[in-house]
Amino acid sequence: MTDGADRDDTSRRWPRSVYEAGSEPDPRFTFANERTFLAWIRTALALLAAGIALEALEIPDHTALRLVLVVALSVLGASCSILAFFRWARAERALRESRPLPSPALAPVLAFGLAVAAIVIVVVLVAP
């Protein structure tokens, strides 16, 4: 007698567009892809925490600039979270279809966004 948990029922897995493609990859690769996704989520949380911390620091004479930075860090955090899911799905689908992994579109966006935010923060802290 076969238990329902013993069979591979892709119709219950979400997103179907990922799990209905190709065949099951080596679990080690799937787990590595999941760890990468979780690392991006931690990065998103750190960006959101930085935005909240910056709002909590009431830097005098720079209220408008602080608000811009808070919004920028929050948007970067939200974008990182959303794009991390799409990156995970693209990589998982590529693994299932035995294709090369897609290039990381999220890394350059995040790198340049953080560089701009860091420069603005330094200018704010150094400017009298």
DSSP 40-94: HHHHHHHHHHHHHHHHHS--TT-HHHHHHHHHHHHHHHHHHHHHHHHHHHHHHHH
- Report the pLDDT value the prediction gives residue 2, as an integer from 0 to 100: 45
What would the pLDDT profile of 12-36 be if each residue is shown by its tens digit? 777 887 888 888 889 999 999 899 9
pTM over 0.85: no
What would the pLDDT profile of 2-12 be if each residue is shown by its tens digit? 444 434 565 67
Mean pLDDT, rounded, of the chain: 84
Between 32 and 126, name the one with better pLDDT. 32
Six token digits for residue 43:
């990065």
What would the pLDDT profile of 37-59 be if each residue is shown by its tens digit? 999 999 999 999 999 998 887 76
